[in-house]
Amino acid sequence: MGVHEALRPAVFLDRDGVINAAVVKGGKPYPPARVEEVTILPGVAGALARLGEAGYALVVVTNQPDVARGAQTREAVDAIHARMRAELPLDAIYCCFHDDADRCACRKPAPGLLRDAARDLDLDLARSFMVGDRWRDVEAGVAAGCRTVFIDYHYAERRPQTFDIQVTSLADAAAWILKGTT
C-alpha cells in the first residue's frame, strides 16, 4: 500500500456557527463567552456520527481571537472545547488564539490549522472537506486543497469567493459529503 492510501480523509469543521450556535450581534457572529452559553446546533451529533462511521476524521479548526484581544480567557475556550469533546465524536480541536495583526500561519483564512492537523493526524487534505459559515473558513479550506462547504446564515459580512456547495446546516453538509463518497 502506498503512502497516499494510508492517509485518512477528514472533515474540518469551524466551531461557532457549525458545531454550536454563534451569538449574532448586528448581523455578525461571535463565540459564546462561557461554556454555559454553548448550544450545540440541532442535527450536529447525528451528522458527526455519520461522517465518523464513514471513516472521516472529525477535526474542529477555530479562530478565537478574543483571547489575543483580552476579551476572552484561554481557560474559558478550553472549557468549551472540553465540553465539545465530551459530548461529540471529535478527533481533535485545533485553535488559533491570534488576531489578524499577529500575521500567524494558523489564523484562518491561512491554512495552517488544517495543515498542522493533516501532519499530526496523517490526513489527506485532497480527500478532505472544510465546513464553515464564514469566508475565512472556506478560504482556509481552498488554500489547504480541500473541497469546501459554506453554511450560509446570511451574515452582514463578506461572503466567500468560491466554494463547492452552499447549505443551511451541518446535517445538509454531511449528507452532501456522504452522497459523493459512499
Domain that holds residue 122: 3-167
Q: What does the pLDDT read at residue 1?
A: 42
Identify the CA nearest to 136 among candidates 41, 28, 51, 40.
Answer: 28
Query: Is 16 noted as a catalytic residue in this protein?
Result: yes
Q: What's the total number of domains in the chain? A: 1
Distance CA 118, CA 115 (A): 5
Query: Is 124 noted as a catalytic residue in this protein?
Result: no
Q: Is residue 26 part of a domain?
A: yes
Q: Is residue 124 part of a domain?
A: yes
Distance CA 49, CA 166 (A): 21
Q: Is residue 62 part of a domain?
A: yes
Q: Is residue 151 part of a domain?
A: yes
Q: Is residue 178 part of a domain?
A: no
Which residues face 57 on adjacent strands? Answer: 10
Kindly give the pairing relationship between strand 23-25 and strand 28-30.
antiparallel
Q: Is residue 86 part of a domain?
A: yes
Distance CA 98, CA 177 (A): 30
Identify the CA nearest to 85 among candidates 50, 60, 109, 112.
Answer: 60
CATH code for the domain of 152: 3.40.50.1000
- Determine which one of 16, 124, 133, 137 is catalytic: 16
**Tens digits of pLDDT across the chain (182 residues):** 444 557 999 999 999 999 999 999 999 999 999 999 999 999 999 999 999 999 999 999 999 999 999 999 999 999 999 999 999 999 999 999 999 999 999 999 999 999 999 999 999 999 999 999 999 999 999 999 999 999 999 999 999 999 999 999 999 999 999 998 65
Q: Is residue 174 part of a domain?
A: no
Q: Is residue 19 part of a domain?
A: yes
Which residues face 13 on adjacent strands? Answer: 60, 131
Q: What does the pLDDT read at residue 23?
A: 93
Q: What does the pLDDT read at residue 178?
A: 97
Q: What does the pLDDT read at residue 181?
A: 65
